[in-house]
Amino acid sequence: MNLVIDVGNSLVKLAVFEEGILLHKEVVELSLVLEGINALKEAYSGIKKAIISSVGRLNKETIKEISSYFDVMILDSNLKLPFKNLYKTPRTLGVDRMALVSASVEQFSNNNVLIIDAGTCVTYDFITANNEYLGGAISPGLRMRYKSLNNLTANLPLLESETPKSIIGDSTNSSIHSGVVHGILKEIDGNIEEYNRKYSDLTVILTGGDANFLSKQLKSSIFANSNFLLEGLNYILQFNSNE
């Protein structure tokens, strides 16, 4: 039984896996991560191994305590990955992107796969049917686009994400919604179309915090999976444990 610890800016996702099956998932505040882990340790006594992603936000004392409970693996560029990494700057590749590509290897082996993670940023990651990771793209996420319009102008308001009723905004608010949401949708659909032109039999995965909001509005055929990153982290842990 494995514990996956995915550390964000202020929140931490905790997930328990057994033989590749997700048994439990929860989100806790960063300051309460040890309390959350202790509760899981009591509820799932079979947890033996753990993987920590984005360790820079956890202090050494916290990592040391977690390591006293489990056999802990820390995800970084030195860890063996289940794909051939052709990224020119592999040490700068985000651990979240490593995990997403790893999940695609486990679940869609021998396929050309484009993974789109719609979170704080929108990341695009492409791996070939020959198990070669080529790279992708990074662009501003949905909230970042709304915030930038507010932060970098004098009069535009900060709005919550909302599906536009029309391509034509008839007020400042509806114009912002149209520009932000249609802009990101056209970007994603356009990228998928470009990859489809270059690579046959393309599988597209959409994940991340805004995946559900965006998936219903995209024209392209996709698989939406909110747990894809967690599944990738668990697979990296299994892959290295079997070495």
Residue 183 among known ligand-binding residues: no
Alpha helices in the chain (DSSP H): 33-43, 60-69, 95-107, 142-151, 172-177, 183-198, 211-215, 228-241
32 in Cβ contact with 40 (< 8 Å): no
Residue 199 among known ligand-binding residues: no
- Which residue bears the tokens 């079979």? 46
Residue 92 among known ligand-binding residues: no
Tokens, residue 165: 């009723």
Tokens, residue 42: 């009591």
Q: Can you tell me the distance from the alpha carbon of 109 to that of 54, in angstroms, rounded to the nearest whole number?
A: 26
Tokens, residue 168: 């034509």
234 in Cβ contact with 15 (< 8 Å): yes
Tokens, residue 235: 């697979």
Residue 189 among known ligand-binding residues: no
Residue 201 among known ligand-binding residues: no
Tokens, residue 120: 């704080």
- Out of 71, 96, 125, 189, which one is annotated catalytic? 96
Let me know the angle formed at the C-alpha of 192 by 205 and 113, rounded to the nearest 5 degrees: 40
Residue 9 among known ligand-binding residues: yes
Residue 4 among known ligand-binding residues: no
Residue 94 among known ligand-binding residues: yes
Tokens, residue 34: 């040890």
Q: Can you tell me the distance from the alpha carbon of 229 to that of 205, in angstroms, rounded to the nearest whole number?
A: 11
Is 96 assigned a catalytic role? yes
DSSP state of 12: E
Residue 27 among known ligand-binding residues: no
Residue 11 among known ligand-binding residues: yes
Residue 96 among known ligand-binding residues: yes
C-alpha torsion angle, residues 143, 149, 152, 156 (rounded to 10): -130
Residue 6 among known ligand-binding residues: yes
| Residues identified as active-site | 96
Residue ranges of the binding site = 6-13, 87, 94-97, 117, 120, 172
Residue ranges of the binding site for K(+) = 117
Residue ranges of the binding site for ATP = 6-13, 120
Residue ranges of the binding site for substrate = 87, 94-97, 172
